Amino acid sequence: MMTPLAAAKAYAAAQGSALPAASSGAAAPASDFGAMLKDAMQDAVQTSRVAETQMAAHVQGKAQLVDVVTAISAAETSLETVMAVRDQVISAYQEIMRMPI
Q: How confident is the model at residue 22 (pLDDT cuts 50, 70, 90)?
A: very low
Instruction: Give pLDDT, residue 17.
Output: 53
CB–CB of 40/14 below 8 Å?
Answer: yes
**Considering the chain, what is the average pLDDT of its residues?**
81
Cβ of 78: how many Cβ atoms within 10 Å? 20
Q: How confident is the model at residue 23 (pLDDT cuts 50, 70, 90)?
A: very low
Which tens digits make up the pLDDT trace of 47-67?
Answer: 999 999 999 999 999 999 999
- Global pTM value: 0.63
CA dist 1 → 12, 42, 64, 75, 78 (Å): 19, 22, 26, 14, 12
Instruction: Give pLDDT, residue 39.
Output: 87
More confident residue, 79 or 2: 79
